[in-house]
Amino acid sequence: MSGGDGGTRRIETGYLSRVEGEGAMHVRLRGDEVLGVELRIYEPPRFFEALLRGRALGEAPDITARICGICPVAYQTSACQAMEDALGIEVGGQLRDLRRLIYCGEWIQSHSLHLYLLHAPDFLGYESGFAMARDHREVVERGLRAKKAGNRLIAAVGGREVHPVNVRVGGFYRAPERRELEGLVAELERCRSEALETVRWTAGLDFPELERDYELVSLRSPLEGEYPIDRGRIVSSKGIDVAAAEFDDTFEEEQVAHSTALHARVRARGSYLTGPMARFNLNRGRLSPLAAEAAREAGIGDGSLNPFRSIVVRAVEILYAFDEALRLIDAYERPDTPAVEFEPRAAVGHGVSEAPRGLLYHRYEITEAGEIASAWIVPPTSQNQRSIEEDLREFVAANTHLPDEELRHRCEQTIRNYDPCISCSTHFLTLEVERE
Amino acid sequence: MAATGSRPKLAVWKFASCDGCQLSILDLEDELLMLAEEIEIAYFMEASRATVEGPYDLSLVEGSVTTAADAERIREVRRVSRRLVTIGACATAGGIQALRNFADVGEFVSAVYASPSYISTLETSTPISENVSVDYELHGCPIDKRQLLEVISAFLAQRAPAIPSYSVCVECKRRGNVCVTVAHGTPCLGPVTHAGCGALCPAHDRGCYGCFGPMETPNTASLSAWTRGLGAETSDLIRAYRSFNANAPAFRAASELEEGR
């Protein structure tokens, strides 16, 4: 919907499409001046942090997976690591590699879904991936093959694509046989070659202009030369370098009236950006040679702060995830035990990992009996909300000359740059532009 | 392929949920483009900006009803849908968010939000069937995408879906799994849980945790007694029945029975 009322210009999208979950946008303009931008998340809250209290610590990975059907592995990983931190156990070697492997599957599946079916249609002027497939069938089919390969990888390690059953605190219920993973290699190799094509294809799209001085926040792996997925310290482009346990000292969340998702920011500073753009710009020297070369060829070898180019960055990360999965499978030897055993103790634990959309932080307080006393979960979309609103504000200010319908579409695209996953508002989005 | 205009119209609706069940439609990678040719995807906000007005031949509903606005919206969805099928544990039983039904929702809101007054929510999370009449309920947290394809095909062909209603135990036997309870003493909800996953957990050396909800005629009293015999405590049993299908009548009754001990 768009319209004016007494000199007011108002552009709104009441229910944003091609995002996961329910949200809306509201923009108010007076002439060329942007009066207000609100990203409204109206996803009904499900109160995960409240319902986790009193549950057994071992239930956290399965319960928190249900926060998001698109990135359950991220929730399971952060939950497991937070519990392991509290219990004082270390999950290393092949078990840690398996965790990284299933996570590669989730990056491939989630990024492919977003890139081909949700985001690319914006660049080519289609309403959906289905409509795009009528003219670009080969491209969409390539995307679906990549997505399927990612899903098969998740299922091979986790039992099924959505809400895997095989992940537990300490590791896994059953470690896969080497031959089960080897069976995936031919498909992963083919999809890796196609992923290179995808990077080239996205590099040829038209990118609207927008660049801001973001504070980029991502993990940095303790291993030199390892791109962050499952672990690391939290670092930023403006000097943050802290352990997961210092999350609360570094960031804060606040509630705003127009959203059921809390807004996060760097304490005493402001908004920040997490997700593929942040990971890539802060860690591009840690990509595999194949992915680094593809990024250079695509023109982002020295980094990029244009959020519309996030589609190229996701393509590079898909390529990297295929490459990394193949490396991990090649090195895999089935561990003797599928998990590290533990004894409950009263403690507080912190866990953080790189969900496809960015940093995902969990903190739990557990009792001596092994029950959850309190839970705090900060999903990527709540961290990016403020940054999305600032992108919208700047983009609208530079493009007030556009007719309402085109401006509205571009605003939606600006939001989709973030692949916002609204159902993960453990704590809830519609688009509206109002011109005065 | 039928000509445009004569294809059946499909709509996908979201209520309180994780999006995982509607993702299962997009996870039908091999069939998705064919499906989009055979049927008109008339309303599917997660996948398309374009919307076509109802009425719809088949509506798939994901999620549970947790707000007054959603209680109103589901009636509108029912009004414009010839057939309405719920997909997943949230729509069929209320989901994990139905744990509020056993607690004080006001306290839940205060536990998560600094300004509880901004949040409007109902005291309970209810399945779609408690709000409007439904034509079929597909179980699972998440649903199985093969079963989803069967349900869509069946409704479009106007026949009954071929979805078995027996327990996970039968699937274990078929798959050749060793019984985790008999062999390892692992507590397992398989005997009372609706089939559909293919006995995934026991195949991964783990007891079933009931994500497909109760089967048609579950003997929960017997299972509770057996599980107690394996050393489980009352609190373990209550938690086992109170997860993703906590509000499904059979699981609800079983957990309340334990609570009354």
- Closest among B25, B26, B135, B125 to B81, alpha carbons compared: B135
Place of tokens 């202009």: A209
The predicted pLDDT at position A7 comes to 60
- Average pLDDT score, chain A: 91
- The pLDDT-based confidence of A424 (bands split at 50, 70, 90) is very low
Q: In what order do the strands lie in the sheet with A216-220?
A: A241-242, A233-236, A216-220, A273-274
Residues B53, B121, single domain; the answer is yes
The answer to whether residues B143 and B173 belong to one domain is no
Same domain, B29 and B152: yes
Using the Cβ of B108 and the Cβ atoms of chain A, whether some distance falls under 8 Å is answered with: yes
- Cβ-defined contact of A72 to B20 (cutoff 8 Å): yes
- How would you class B68 by CB atoms within 10 Å of its CB: exposed for 0-12, middle for 13-18, buried for 19 or more? exposed
Q: For residues A180 and A184, give the distance between their C-alpha atoms in angstroms, rounded to a whole number.
A: 8
Which residue among B107, B124, B156 closes a domain? B156
Whether residue B151 sits in one domain with residue B46: yes
Q: Considering only alpha carbons, which residue of chain B is nearest residue A369?
A: B235
A-B contacts at Cβ under 8 angstroms: 187
The minimum CA-CA distance between B44 and chain A, rounded to whole Å, is 8
pLDDT tens, A360-387?
999 999 999 999 999 999 999 888 988 9
- Final residue belonging to a domain, choices B156, B178, B193: B156
The pLDDT of residue A434: 63
B127: preceding bond cis by omega (within 30 degrees)? no
Q: Does B34 touch chain A (CB under 8 A)?
A: no
Strand-strand pairing, A431-435 and A23-30 = parallel
Determine the Cα–Cα distance for residues B45 and B61; give it in Å rounded to an integer: 12
Is-contact B108 B38, C-beta < 8 A? no
**Residue B45 counted as domain residue:** yes
For chain B, the farthest-separated pair of C-alpha atoms sits apart, in whole angstroms, at 62
Facing residue for B18 by CB, picked from A50, A53, A69? A69
Interchain pair A161, B33: CB under 8 A: no
Instruction: Please identify every stretch of chain B with a pLDDT value under 50, giving residue numbers as ranges.
Output: 1-4
Asked if residue B1 is part of any domain, the answer here is no
A90-149 pLDDT, tens per residue? 999 999 999 999 999 999 999 999 999 999 999 999 988 999 999 999 999 999 999 999
Residue A15's pLDDT band (cuts 50, 70, 90): low
Question: B68 CB near a chain A CB, below 8 Å?
Answer: no
- What residues have CB less than 8 Å from B4, skipping those under 6 apart? B40
Whether residue B51 is found in the same domain as residue B128:
yes
What distances in angstroms separate CA A42 from CA A38, A114, A253, one per listed residue? 12, 21, 18
Smallest CA–CA distance from A378 into chain B, residue: B112
Q: Chain A window 331-390: which residues touch B at a Cβ cutoff of 8 Å?
A: 338
When comparing pLDDT for A41 and A201, which is higher? A201
**Chain B residue with minimum CA distance to A18:** B46
Each residue's pLDDT tens digit, A59-92? 999 999 999 999 999 999 999 999 999 999 999 9
Whether A254 and B108 lie within 8 Å, measured CB to CB: no
Inside any domain, residue B53: yes
- What is the mean pLDDT of the segment spanning A323-344? 98
Nearest to B61 by CA among B3, B123, B143: B143
Torsion of CA A245, A251, A256, A262, to 10 degrees: -40
Judged by a CB distance cut-off of 8 A, whether residue A29 touches chain B is: no
Residue B63 domain-assigned?
yes
Q: Is A156 on the interface with B (CB under 8 A)?
A: no
* Whether A23 contacts chain B with CB within 8 A: no
Residue that terminates a domain, selected from B125, B156, B187? B156
- What residues make up the domain containing B226? 168-259
Find residues 146-175 of chain B whose CB sits inside 8 Å of chain A. none
pLDDT tens, position by position, B75-84: 999 999 999 9
Q: Domain check: are B102 and B212 in the same one?
A: no
Asked if residue B147 and residue B219 are part of one domain, the reply reads: no
The pairing of strands A273-274 and A347-355 is unpaired
Higher pLDDT, B182 or A7: B182
Is the peptide bond prior to A45 cis by the omega test (within 30 degrees of 0)? Answer: no
Measured between CB atoms, which of A20, A59, A159 is closest to B239? Answer: A59
Q: Are residues B34 and B151 in the same domain?
A: yes
Any domain includes B3: no
Question: Which residues does chain A have within 8 Å of residue B209's beta carbon, measured at their own beta carbons?
Answer: 62, 165
Per the domain annotation, does B209 fall within a domain? yes
User: Which chain B residues are Cβ-neighbours of A121 within 8 angstroms?
Assistant: 49
ipTM over 0.90: yes
Q: Is residue A425 pLDDT above 60, yes or no?
A: no
Residue A257 has pLDDT above 90, yes or no: no
Asked whether residue B17 falls in the same domain as residue B113, the answer is yes
Q: Are residues B133 and B180 in the same domain?
A: no
Of B23, B121, B236, nearest to A162 by CB-CB distance is B23
Q: Would an 8 Å CB–CB cutoff place B96 in contact with chain A?
A: yes
Q: Can you tell me the distance from the alpha carbon of A81 to that of A231, in angstroms, rounded to the nearest whole number?
A: 9
pLDDT digits (tens, 9 = 90+) for A145-171: 999 999 999 999 999 999 999 999 999
Please count the structural domains in chain B: 2
Query: Chain B contact for A43, CB < 8 A?
Result: yes
- For an interface test with B, the pick among A18, A41, A51 (most B C-beta atoms closer than 10 Å) comes out as A51
- B218 shares a domain with B103: no
Residue B78's domain is classified under what CATH number?
3.40.50.700
How would residue A358 be classed by pLDDT, with cut points 50, 70 and 90? Answer: very high
Residues of A with Cβ-Cβ distance to B32 under 8 angstroms = 144
- Please list, residue by residue across A30-66, b when 16 or more beta carbons sit within 10 angstroms of its beta carbon and e when fewer do: eeeebeebbbbbbbbbbbbbbbbbebbbbbbbbbbbb
- Is residue B225 included in any domain, yes or no? yes
Pairing label, strands A241-242, B81-87: unpaired
pLDDT value of residue A305 = 96
Yes or no: say if A195 and A107 are a contact pair by the CB < 8 Å rule. Answer: no
CB contact under 8 A, B113 and A43: no
Report whether A252 contacts A267 (CB < 8 A).
yes
Domain membership of residue B161 (yes or no) is no
| B184 and B96 assigned to the same domain | no
